[in-house]
Structures are given as structure tokens and as C-alpha cells.
Amino acid sequence: MREFRSFVTKEFRHIFRDRRTVLIVLIMPVVQIVLFGFAISTEINNARVDIVGDLSDPSVRRIVTRIDNNGYLNIGKVYKNTADIDGRFRKGKADVAVCFENEFDDKLNSLGTASIRIIGDGSDPNSAQMIVNYVTGVINDEQGDIDVAWSGTGPSGSSTPAVKYMYNPGMLSSYNFVPGVMGLILMLICSMMTAVSIVKEKETGTMELLLVSPLKPVWIIVSKMIPYFTLSAVNLATILLLSRFVMHVPLRGSLLLLVFISLTFIVASLAIGLLISVISSTQKTALLISGMGLTMPTMIFSGIIFPCESMPSILQYVSDIIPAKWYIIMMKKIMIEGVGFGYMVKEYIILLAMTAFLLFVSTRLFKNRL
């Protein structure tokens, strides 16, 4: 027991005497959360809407005011000629253009129909689609009002679907990325740091001395894991606090359950780190493997950035073997949906099985010789 305590103390000394490590371990979660939270936002804010038409036309003016009043949309420039749209898009001064036909109000009142064309900037398809949806929504509202006005008091036969996004009515992307970043960070810190710290001992030759000592390899492994386990717990707390009080992501489910599942995931990540340390002989290799072989696939396949459901089926199978995917699914369920353990038994069993497998394989492969 004394051996073990002394080993763990030594590990903590390594960490705290290397400023770079401390910086990476403690600051990285904050940077990532802030980065994802503010810079890499997938939400639409202040989209610039150009109006092509005659503002003196009462119906046009009514719709334009409606657009202007929408929190996500701002009116850019108003002009008469559709040929100018191209120039505005090219200069990046507008995101979408709404074109009204001539004598819009007259046609609407006399013929009962008048046309509006919405032109989006397709060079960025994702945001174009979202902006166009917003604009369409606003115009649909106006359409509904007109229907009511014309058919008298009651609603007419036409029906407009009312869309509501449960759990995340504001469609905030932070609801998606906070669980994602949690998975990413824990994976990174636990795996990369454990791998590097074990491989470092191989590289400097101290592993030779550790192996020659009567210390059992399993204790070497456990002592290596404990400090990073602790650090990961600190990181988990940091992320949760940041997401709650800076990003305003709710924690609707049980905190205890969240911590319990996170600890399981941390053990899985530590086992992956151990596995990397077994197969790499230099710190560079370990870093490359955990960077390219772990972080990238985790980011791409765990559903943080691209939804797994829209991947080709082969890639969906690939995403199934990423532990972070299952962890993130459970985190979303706990934090956003607020459901209990009964709703994530399948995911948890998968994660637990992966953890057990990784732990078994990596401790088996850990050699007690050079």
C-alpha cells in the first residue's frame, strides 16, 4: 500500500511540475467549451434579408415589418431590381433576398394571389436552408393572418403546422455540443495523458527500473490511472459548471446518474490510453495515435458535428464502436431530456461491455518485460 501511495504521489508530481501538462489538462476543457459555444455556433443570428420590391406597397410593407420584428432576421437593403441580388451576395452583404412581384398589394386584393420569391445564398447550403426556413415561417404567419382576415372570424379550412421543438425550444446548439465536448475532453485527457505518461517512462528508460522492481505491473497501471482519473473528475466538474452557468444548458436528470455514467466512460478512456501505450514506443507515436486515431474519429463519428443517422450505413457501424457515441447519447438523455436510467439501459450495457473488453485486453497486453 505504501508503494502504491508513493507511486501515485510521484505521478501527481510529474503532472504539476510540467506546466504544459497542467495547462492542457485544466485549461483545455474551458477553451473547448468556449470555442464550441461562441465561435463554432450552428445557430442563425442576425441573418441579413434584402428586400426587392416596392416599400410603398402596403402589403409588402406589412410583411417587411414582420420580418424586421423577427429576432433572428434583420432587413438589409431595399432595392427594385432582382439583378442586384447577385452583387450583394457576392460581396457578402446579404444572406437572403425576398422578392415581391410588382403591384403586389393590388394583385393580392383583386386576384386573391400574389407571388413572393425567396432567394438564398446556396454557397453555404446549411445556413441558407435555415435562413430560408425562418423567412418562410414569417411569411406563413402573415399568410395565416390574411386567411383569418378574409374568411371572417374563424379559422379557414387551410391548416398550417405548428412546429415545436421539445426539450430545446430555442434550438440552441449548446444543447448538442456540451455533452459532445464532455465526451471529447474526457476521452482526450484520459487516453492521451495516460498513454503519454506511460510511454514517457518507456522512452526515458525508467520503465526498465519499474519492471525490475518487485512492483506488480497491475499496480503500475493502476497508479498511472489514478491521477488522470482524478483530473478527469475535476474536468467533468469544470465542464458541468461552465455549461450550467455560462452556456445555460440545463441538467434536467439526476446528477448522480450523470456522474456514475461519466466515471464508467472515464475508465473506458483510461483503458484505451493504456492500449495506446502498449503499442507505441515513443511519446510522438502515442500523441499521433491518440490525436489522429482517437480524437478525429470521436469528433466525426460520435455525433457531435455530424448526426450519425445521416451517415452511410457502413460509417454508422463504424460509429457504433466509438465509446464516446454511447456516452454522448446518454449524456443528452440525462441533461436535456431528463430521463432516468431505465431509458438508457441498452447504451449503458454497450459502454460497460466496451470498458470491460478494453480493460481486459490492455492489461493483458501490458508486458512485464521490455
Partner 1 sequence: MGIIDVNGIVKKYGEKTALDNVSFSVEKGEIFGLIGPDGAGKTTLFRILATLLLPDAGKASVEGHDTVTDFAAIRRSIGYMPGHFSLYQDLSVRENLEFFATIFGTTVEANYDNIKEIYSQLEPFGDRRAGALSGGMKQKLALCCALVHKPSVLFLDEPTTGVDAVSRKEFWNILYRIRSGGVTILVSTPYMDEASLCDRIALIQQGAIFETGTPAGIVSEYPYGLLAVKGKPVYPLLQFLRTCDGVVNCFSFGSECHAAIDSSVTGCSRLQRELSGAGFRNFSVREITPGVEDCFLQLSIRKRDGMR
| Residues in contact with partner 1 by the rule CB under 8 A | 2-3, 6-7, 10, 13-14, 17-18, 204-206, 208-215, 369-370
Nearer to partner 1, 243 or 277 (CB): 277
Phi and psi of 95, rounded to 5°? Answer: -105, -25
Backbone angles phi, psi at 98, to 5 degrees: -110, 120
Q: 215: helix, coil or strand?
A: coil
> CB 208 → partner 1: shortest distance, Å?
5
Distances in whole angstroms, Cα of residue 165 to Cα of each of 40, 140, 168, 244, 271: 22, 18, 6, 20, 38
Query: CA–CA separation, 41 vs 361, rounded Å?
Result: 39
Question: Based on CB atoms, which residue is closest to partner 1, 47 or 220?
Answer: 220
- Judged by CB, which is closer to partner 1: 3, or 86? 3
Query: CA of 17: how far to CAs of 149, 227, 229, 342, in Å?
Result: 74, 14, 18, 44
Q: If you write DSSP's letter for every residue of 306-327 in order, what string do you get?
A: S-GGGS-HHHHHHHHT-HHHHH
Q: How far is the CB of 309 from partner 1 (least distance, A)?
A: 47
Choice between 116 and 215, CB closer to partner 1: 215
Number of other residues whose CB lies within 10 A of the CB of residue 64: 20
CB of 203 to partner 1, least distance (A): 10
Please report how close the Cβ of residue 204 comes to partner 1 at its closest, in angstroms.
6
CB of 45 to partner 1, least distance (A): 47
CB of 230 to partner 1, least distance (A): 19
Q: How far is the CB of 28 from partner 1 (least distance, A)?
A: 21
DSSP 101: P
CB nearer to partner 1: pick between 145 and 208: 208
The rounded distance, in Å, linking the Cα atoms of 47 and 62 is 19
Residue closer to partner 1 (CB basis): 209 or 237 = 209
Q: Which three cell numbers stand for residue 337?
A: 431530456
Q: Return d(Cα 191, Cα 320) in angstroms, integer.
A: 19
Which lies closer to partner 1 via its Cβ, residue 14 or residue 66? 14
For residue 164, give the C-alpha cell.
Answer: 415545436
